[in-house]
Structure 1
Amino acid sequence: MPQPDSPAPEFAVPVVDISAYVGDGTDEERAAVAEALDTACATVGFVQIIGHGIPDDIWNGLGEASDAFFNKTLDEKKEYLAPGNRGYSPPKSESLSLSLGVESSSRMNDFFEAFNVGVEARSFPGLGLSEDDYGLNVWPDIDAFRAKVEAYYGEASRVARTLTGVFADALGLEHDFFAALTDHSIDVLRMNNYALPEGTVTLDGDLTGMGEHTDYGLVTVLWADQVAGLQVLGTDGIWHDVSPIDGALLINLGDLTARLTNDRWMSTLHRVKPPIVDGTIKRRRSVAFFHDGNLDAVIETLPSHLDADDGLAYEPILVRDHIKAKLAGSRQGKANTAAVREAARVLAAKG
């Protein structure tokens, strides 16, 4: 007789301990980590990592620096507006859904505010790189702000590069495969603040914290509060709430890694909904380190993955062109018409 349908598995973001790669793990221990990460990347695209080795004082210092900046008045924060992907972004100055070419109900309506720093072209002397592609940092006049942010930036960079080594092992590549794609990577640290002063907004269902989007590069390392708001689109087409466990970093893949693996590893769609508690928006903080790759690198599907996705493959793309198109959507209001696969997933979920 027919058997009843099995209930769908409960959505969960896997937890992977990467301490074997941070310390002196054995070959067997590292192989187990690589296998666990491969499974997480192929089934969810988000993963929580523990054993990352970031000291508590650096972890806590980042939160202190973020609070010190975002507690300033809007006029004070606007003193640090900067061209390109640097400096301060006020609320409702971006629309992340446009990086996918998806029109939101109200353009440029993401209410988060952000502050960006990152690597500069002059960090790589002799390569003839342009600051137009990277950007020059601006630093707030806040005691110890720069020191605390740079300390965490260094740790996040180390974690991201540790992860690309695990990625290479998981994909059966040379362990240093990603080095040639990232030796002058355009890395950016973005501090996000989700809060609005009381009485300034009507929660009419239109306002969003951060619109649905995929990240642009290879991998994102996310430090986040355990405050509701972050949602991930599962393979079931449903948006699921995500919150990190104590001491964990959230890791998600970017578009370029999905391209390398022809979508066997997923650049998972995510968004941030207004964290509403008792009818008001509760403050939520996150800090994302984007490891995006060299702007002059060409990303193309790995030969081992050409048969994935029913034999279809992405066209090779220059990292510079991909990042430019995505940023033009999120920060300049120009819909990115190249993000066909990602946009289709968003629209299917909305339906």
Structure 2
Amino acid sequence: MDLAKLPVLSLSDAPQDFARAIGASFREYGFALVKDHGIDSALIDQAWALTAQFFALPEEEKRKYFIPGIAGARGYTPFKTEIAKGAKMHDLKEFWHVGRDLPEGSPLAASMAPNVWPDSPEGFQDVFSRLYAEFDKAGATILSRIALHLGLDENWFDPAIEDGNSVMRLLHYPPVADAEGGAIRAGAHEDINLITLLLGAQEAGLELLTKDGRWVGVAPPEGAIVINIGDMLQRLTNHVLPSTTHRVRNPDAERAAHSRYSMPYFLHLRSDFPFKTLEQCITPENPDRYPVSITADDYLQERLREIGLKK
């Protein structure tokens, strides 16, 4: 399997330099690799350990935190629940969602459920609350650079993501005994949100689909995170910044007995954000594909139905 030739960008570079570099990587691949992102490495190590401990709990213990009716927005989602849009087989994964704690009386509360926290492992709530905040900060900084790339004010996204419906997902792909009728760990899909910040997994498997139709692996170096465009940013930019299809393939035979863990942070807009295509992304050659405005939550709910998390 070939690896994608993604440059490794430093968030410590001058804003305009980083903006140009991430824009170029996004336009070619829909993905970028970013180091010097400021997320505490010791906190990340704690998070990996707690993730493994939680998913090692008995199935009946984990299912205590499965909440029907909220489309997996918080707490535990069992193995083989989610399915890629258009796929026939459910993904071979289970996951936990941490979301934003809204201020008391927030008008967004109807679209964002409160967090739930497991009784064990110890320290789970503290570690993941802090990690969520660090992801949130890094994501906002990266969005400010994307704004510069698009010719916007660097603070353009700030009100759009204030109290945004961002979700941190702790993912466990159990060992793969067999192909289970053609199912894979995560079927080919595009993310729903604005951008995804992904802490890399020790086990290989993440692949993106190139413009010429080839699957290539994505392997961030130690300390770097993977950033990819979601469908919401693609919509906002009238497909100038493309949301790239990606998947997690099954392991090779010698690694089939090993679990795979990963930790994406899906950075979302405010639930009440109204989509309006950016004017600078509309040209005679690229007319507005989305003249009808909908809210970010309308879009999210539609997509959750498509991937099997909402009926």
Same fold by TM-score, threshold 0.5 exceeded?
yes
Q: 1:324 aligns with which of 276, 301, 307?
A: 301
Alpha-carbon distance, 1:279 to partner: 6.9
Alpha-carbon distance, 1:34 to partner: 0.9
Q: 2:215 aligns with which of 239, 258, 262?
A: 239
Check 1:209–1:333 CA distance in 2 against 1; reply closer, same or farther (3 A cut).
Answer: farther
Contact 2:3 2:219 in 1 (8 A): no
Contact 2:210 2:216 in 1 (8 A): yes
Distance, in Å, in 1 between the alignment partners of 2:4 and 2:211 is 9
Contact 2:195 2:229 in 1 (8 A): yes
Any gaps of 5 or more consecutive residues in structure 2? Answer: none
**1:91 maps onto 2:72 in alignment:** no
**1:202 maps onto 2:202 in alignment:** no
Indicate the SS of the match to 1:311.
coil
Indicate the SS of the match to 2:130.
helix
User: Which runs of structure 2 are paired with 1:126-145 in the superposition (5 Å)?
Assistant: 126-131=105-110, 133-141=111-119, 142-145=121-124
Specify the alignment match of 2:44 in structure 1: 59
Specify the alignment match of 2:9 in structure 1: 16
Check 1:328–1:170 CA distance in 2 against 1; reply closer, same or farther (3 A cut).
Answer: same
Specify the alignment match of 2:64 in structure 1: 79
Distance, in Å, in 2 between the alignment partners of 1:238 and 1:11 is 10
**1:182 maps onto 2:161 in alignment:** yes
Q: TM-score, normalised by structure 1?
A: 0.82
Residue identity opposite 1:116 in structure 2: H
Deviations 1:114-145 (A, max 9, x none): 0111014xx134542234x1112111112111
Q: TM-score, normalised by structure 2?
A: 0.92
Indicate the SS of the match to 2:307.
helix
Distance, in Å, in 1 between the alignment partners of 2:232 and 2:44 is 28
Distance, in Å, in 2 between the alignment partners of 1:321 and 1:182 is 16
Contact 1:185 1:295 in 2 (8 A): yes
Alpha-carbon distance, 1:281 to partner: 4.2
Indicate the SS of the match to 1:16.
strand
Contact 1:222 1:289 in 2 (8 A): yes
Distance, in Å, in 1 between the alignment partners of 2:257 and 2:183 is 11
Contact 2:209 2:216 in 1 (8 A): yes
- CA-based RMSD of the aligned residues comes to 2.0
Deviations 1:89-109 (A, max 9, x none): 1111110x22xxx1x233xx2
Indicate the SS of the match to 2:122.
coil
Distance, in Å, in 1 between the alignment partners of 2:170 and 2:31 is 19
User: Which runs of structure 2 are paired with 1:213-292 in the superposition (5 Å)?
Assistant: 213-278=189-254, 280-292=256-268
Which protein has the larger Cα radius of gyration, Structure 1 or Structure 2?
A: 1
Distance, in Å, in 2 between the alignment partners of 1:227 and 1:309 is 42
**1:303 maps onto 2:289 in alignment:** no
Contact 1:262 1:309 in 2 (8 A): no
Distance, in Å, in 2 between the alignment partners of 1:155 and 1:308 is 40
User: Which runs of structure 2 are paired with 1:99-178 in the superposition (5 Å)?
Assistant: 102=86, 104-106=87-89, 109-120=90-101, 123-131=102-110, 133-141=111-119, 142-178=121-157
Q: 2:35 aligns with which of 50, 61, 71?
A: 50
Identity of aligned residues (%): 29
Q: 2:23 aligns with which of 24, 35, 38?
A: 38
Distance, in Å, in 1 between the alignment partners of 2:116 and 2:185 is 25
Distance, in Å, in 2 between the alignment partners of 1:182 and 1:14 is 27
Residue identity opposite 2:95 in structure 1: A
